[in-house]
Structure 1
Amino acid sequence: MRVLIVDDEPIRRRNLTQAISEWEYDLMAVTDGNQAWSYLEKEREPVIVLLDDDGIELCRKIRQEEWKHIYVIIVTVKTKIDEIADGLDAGADDYLTRPVHDKELRSRLSAGRRILEYQYTLEKLTTELIAANKQLKHLVAVDGLTGIAGRGHFEMRLEEEWRRALRDGGPLSIIFVDIDYFKKYNETYGHLAGDDCLRRVAQILPASLYRAGDMAARYGGAEFILLLPNTDSLGAMVVAESVRVGVLDLNLEHAASPYRRVSVSLGIETVIPEQDDPAAAVVNANKALHAAKKGGRNTVRQFAH
C-alpha cells in the first residue's frame, strides 16, 4: 500500500516518514499540492494521502476527479469541531490532530488500508461480474454450433416484436425451417458432417433476410426459425423460397434423400396480433412445417386459418 505525505514543513515531513517507514508501506513525500497532484495523476494503485492543514483545496480537487482509490487523512493542529468538519466536508476520509502519536497514526493508516483494499476488491469483483454477465448474455443469445441467434434470443425478440405489432397493428411472420432427412444424413455421413451441414444451412438464413429487424435463429436440432416483423404472407413466402433455393444451391450431397442433396422444408405463419399470445403463432408455423413435410419435403407451406 502506498502512502503519500504532503507537507511543506521539513521536520513534520521527516517525522511522519520515519514513523511510517517501519510499517511496510511504500512511501512518497512531497512539499506542496502541485507535486502531489503530479504524482497522483500518474498513480493507478490505491494511495493513502496525508495532507497538512493547507491541503483542503487539494482534497477538493482530488474528489472532483474519478480517482476511486485515494484515502485522504488531514493532519491538523485544529481541534474545534467546525474546523475539522471543513476538512471532512472537502472530501477527507479521516483526520489526525498534532502532535501525532505513532500508535494512533498506525491505526488510522491501517483503517484506511482496509477500506481501500475492500473498495479495490469490490470493484474488481464488480468488473468480473459485468464481464461474466456479458458472456452469459452472449451464450444465451448465440447458438454455439452455428453462430446465429439461439432459441432464447429468438423468444425474447418475438415478445418484443409481438408487442410492437399489437400496438401498431402491423403483420408479423414466423417461418420454421427444418433440414430434410437430417437423421439419415447423420447416419450416412457422421455427426461431424452433420454439424457442418447445420452450419452451412445456418449461413444461408441471414443472407435471405431483407430487413434490418428480421432475424434468424436455431430453434433446436435441425430446426431453425425466422422472425419477420412487419412482413405479410407474400413477403414471408419470398423469404422462404429464397431460403429453400439457397440451401439447394449449396449442393451438399445427401445420398439418403430423394433429392440427392440437402434440402429444407418450411412452414409459415403470418398474423396481425390481436391478443398477447405469440406462442400460438409459433405453434401454427410448426403445423405448417409439418404440412410441408407431409407434402413431400423441399417445399413451403403457409398455415391455413
Structure 2
Amino acid sequence: MKILIVEDTRSNLLVLTQYVERLGATAVKAETGAQAIEIFQSEHPDIVLLDVVLPDTDGFAVAQRLRGLERAENWTPIIFLSSLGKDEDIERGIASGGDDYLHKPISEVVLGAKIRAMQRIIQMRTSLVVLARKLDTANQELKRLSASDGLTGIANRRLFDEYISREWRRARRTSNSIALLMCDVDHFKLFNDTYGHQAGDDCLRQVAGVIQRTMERASDVAARYGGEEFAAILPETAIGGALFVGEKIRHALHALNIPHAGSPHGRVTLSIGIAAQVPDTEGLHDDLIKAADRALYRAKHEGRDRVVRADAMLADHE
C-alpha cells in the first residue's frame, strides 16, 4: 500500500512517515500543494494524508484538485490533518472531497485505525466495482442473446421488429428510402425430408452466414424472420441498391453449392422479394413488409432462385 503524506512541517512529516512505515505501507512525501498534485498523478497512492495548512495553498483546494484528477472508476481516500477543530472546518473538509478528519497532534493508534478502516472500504469498493463489471458484461451478453436467433446467431424476429420500426421512423424524418429483402429457402421441407433436421439446421446456419456477410454497412441488419425465412433491412437504400444486394446474396449462396437432391436446381437456392419506400406521414412499415412479401411470393411462383422487385408504384424511389 502506498500513502501520500502532504505536510509542510518537517518534524511532523518525519513522525507521520514513521507511523506509516510501521503499518507496512510505503510513504510518499510532499511539502506543498503543488508537489502533492504532481506526486498524486505520477504515483497513484492508495490513501492521502493531507495537511490543511500548506505554504502555497490550503488542503481543501488540493483535495478538490485531487478529486478532479480521479478517473470515474477510481477513488482515493483523503484524510485531513489539522489543528483546526471547529465543526465548520470539518464540514468544509468533507465538502471539499475529504473522507475523514484527524486533529493534530496525530495519535499513531488512531491513525492506524483510520488507515485500516479506509483499507476495508477500498477493498469493499473494489469488490463492488468488479461485481458491477461482471454484471454489466452479463447484461450485455443477455441483451445480445435476447436479440439473437439461437440457431443461426443473426438477429431474431424481435430485433427485426424493433429495428424496422425505428429505421422507418428515421427514414420518415429524413425523407430517405428504406429497403427490405424477404428471403426464403427454396424447397426446404424437401431438404429436411431428404437429409434430416440436423442437416437442415446446418443449411439454415450457412444461409444466414451468406446473408450476414453480404451486409456491408453497420446499419444493415440481417435477421431470421421465421422458419426458413430471412430478412434484411437496408436503411437509406433505394430499390436499385436492394436489387444489387439481393443478387449478391443469391450468387453467394450459389457459390456454396449446398447439394439439394429434392430441388430442380440440384442445390440450395433462395427466392428473394425486395421492396423500398420513402415513408410518408400515412404509411406504415407493415406496408413495406407486405410489399416485400408479395414480391417473394411472385419469386416463388415464377420458378424460385430469383430476385423479384415489388410493384413500381411502391418501390421506385431511386
TM range (shorter): 0.7 to 0.9
User: Does 2:260 align with 1:254?
Assistant: yes
Q: Name the residue aligned to 1:219.
A: 225
Q: 2:260 matched to 1:286?
A: no
Flag the 1:26–1:138 CA change in 2: closer, same or farther, 3 A.
Answer: farther
Q: Which residue in 1 is equivalent to 2:50?
A: 51
SS at 2:305's partner residue? coil
Kindly tell me: are residues 20 and 78 of structure 1, through their superposed partners in 2, closer, same or farther at Cα, counting changes over 3 Å? farther
What is the count of residue pairs matched by the alignment? 300
Q: CA deviation at 1:102?
A: 5.9
- Number of the residue aligned with 1:41: 42
Deviation, 1:176, is: 0.8
Alignment-mate amino acid for residue 29 of structure 1: A
User: Are the structure 2 counterparts of residues 122 and 212 from structure 1 closer, same or farther at C-alpha, using a change threshold of 3 Å?
Assistant: closer
Partner Cα distance (1:277, 1:118) in 2: 52
C-alpha displacement at 1:200, in angstroms? 3.2
Check conservation: 1:173, 1:229, Cα contact below 8 A. Answer: yes
User: What does residue 279 of structure 2 align with?
Assistant: 273
Per-residue CA distance 1:18-58 (angstroms, 9 max, x = gap) = 5995xxx54233443448964773347xx232233446265
Give the letter for the 2:263 counterpart. S
**Offset of residue 94 of structure 1:** 1.6
1:229 maps to 2:243 = no
Q: 174-183 or 117-126: which moved more? A: 117-126
Name the SS for the 1:91 alignment partner. Answer: coil
What is the match of residue 183 of structure 2?
A: 177
- Contact 1:175–1:266 (CA under 8 A) maintained in structure 2: yes
Deviations 1:56-92 (A, max 9, x none): 2653442231153211111222223455455445432
- 11, 26, 29: which one aligns with 1:28: 26
Q: Is the 8 A contact 1:69 1:120 kept in 2?
A: no
CA contact (8 A) 2:19 2:108 kept: no
CA contact (8 A) 2:64 2:96 kept: yes
Looking at structure 2, the residues matched to 194 and 227 of structure 1 have their Cα atoms a distance apart, in angstroms, of: 25
| Kept after mapping to 1: 8 A contact 2:37/2:65 | no
Q: 2:97 aligns with which of 86, 91, 94?
A: 91
Q: Hey, what's the Cα distance between the residues in 1 that align with 2:137 and 2:270? A: 38
Q: Deviations over 1:263-285 (max 9, x none)?
A: 11222334442336323432443
Aligned equivalents of 2:270 and 2:142: distance in 1?
A: 31
Cα gap change, 1:60 to 1:187, in 2 (>3 Å)? same
User: CA 1:142–1:71 in structure 2 vs 1: closer, same or farther (change >3 Å)?
Assistant: same
Q: Of 78, 88, 93, which aligns to 2:84?
A: 78
What SS does structure 2 have at the residue aligned with 1:252?
coil
Gaps of 5+ in 1: none
Q: Which deviations, in whole Å up to 9, do the C-alpha atoms of 1:111-169 show, x marking residues without a partner?
A: 53454344333333333333334334443555565454444443333123211332344
The one-letter amino acid of 1:189's match is Y
**Partner letter of residue 118 of structure 2?**
G
Supply the distance in 1 between the matched residues of 2:29 and 2:241 (Cα, whole angstroms).
75
- Indicate the SS of the match to 2:77: strand
1:51 is matched by which residue type in structure 2?
Answer: L
1: CA distance, partners of 2:123 / 2:10 = 30
Q: Is the 8 A contact 1:51 1:73 kept in 2?
A: yes
Distance 2:203 2:174 in 1: 39
Q: Distance in 1 between matches of 2:170 and 2:28?
A: 63
Question: Structure 1 CA distance, aligned partners of 2:40 and 2:245?
Answer: 63
Contact 2:179–2:277, Cα closer than 8 Å, also in 1: yes
Q: Write out per-residue CA displacement over residues 165-206 of structure 1, whole angstroms, 9 at most, x where no aligned residue.
A: 323444433221011122332343344543443343334335
Question: Which residue pairs with 2:66 in the alignment?
Answer: 62
Q: Does the Cα contact within 8 Å between 2:295 and 2:309 map onto a contact in 1?
A: yes
The Cα RMSD (Å) is: 3.8
DSSP-derived class of the 2:256 partner: coil
Distance 1:165 1:65, change over 3 A: closer
Shift of 1:254: 0.6
Secondary structure of the corresponding residue to residue 273 of structure 1: coil
The answer (yes or no) to whether the contact 1:3–1:26 under 8 Å persists in 2 is no
The 3 A distance-change label for structure 1 pair 66 and 245 is same
SS in 2 for 1:70: coil
